[in-house]
Amino acid sequence: MPHLDERLKKVAQEIRVKTHADIGSDHANLLVALLRSGRVLKGIAIENKQQPLFHSETALLGLNAEARFADGLDGIAEGEVDSLSICGMGAESIVSILSSHPKRIPELIVLQPNRRADLIRRWGIDSGFHLVDEQMVYGHRPYVILTYRKAGHGADPAYRQIDHQADLLLGPWLVQRREASFVDLLHEEHRYWEQFTQISQASLKRRDAIQRVLKRWALL
């Protein structure tokens, strides 16, 4: 079984279905671990470049899985898979993939963006997917893992409207849980932004959101 870093271990823990697809799987470590642990019965790796496709094909030999050469959701049919993961991409790319074929998105999706998780949170609200869990993993840098389930209609209960913008930027479940490591991360980021006399509008919104949350917790 391949060694998974803490980031992919957390992703794997969110998945237990019959058929799972992983977009941009590269060496297919996540799929191999899911298959060998019995968390999934069938795996589909989707790659849009030949070298990663070859890596995935090699890793999946002998397993109930296949690697497909396709661009994102072009590689699966509607209703073919029970869950989907996309890890290690920017949020812009992830949202673009999900928006390309909304009817092909399964009930469960697990996403690990390298940046701008707020764009995915906005996508979830606009697309009828509820954020059922989010976790922070601390590796080379902090990574957020977002778990969504298709909900259709109704407001996402993760967002309690105390400070909607802060929830979007920082994560509603992370803010609600207020874990010590997350609080430390917010303090560290706030100190970073305080160094600058001029920052971009997007950075200013994030700094102000952090400041509001820390003040609400009486930590600033």
16-72 confidence digits (pLDDT tens): 999 999 999 888 999 999 999 999 999 999 999 999 999 999 999 999 999 999 999
pLDDT confidence tier of residue 9, bands split at 50, 70 and 90: very high
* Whole-structure pTM value: 0.94
For residue 144, which of 166, 165, 184, 173 has the smallest C-alpha distance? 173
Position 3 scores a pLDDT of: 78
pLDDT confidence tier of residue 2, bands split at 50, 70 and 90: low
Comparing 25-29, 112-116, 120-124, 130-134, the range with the smallest average pLDDT is 25-29
Mean pLDDT, range 91-118, rounded to an integer:
96
| Average per-residue pLDDT for the chain | 94
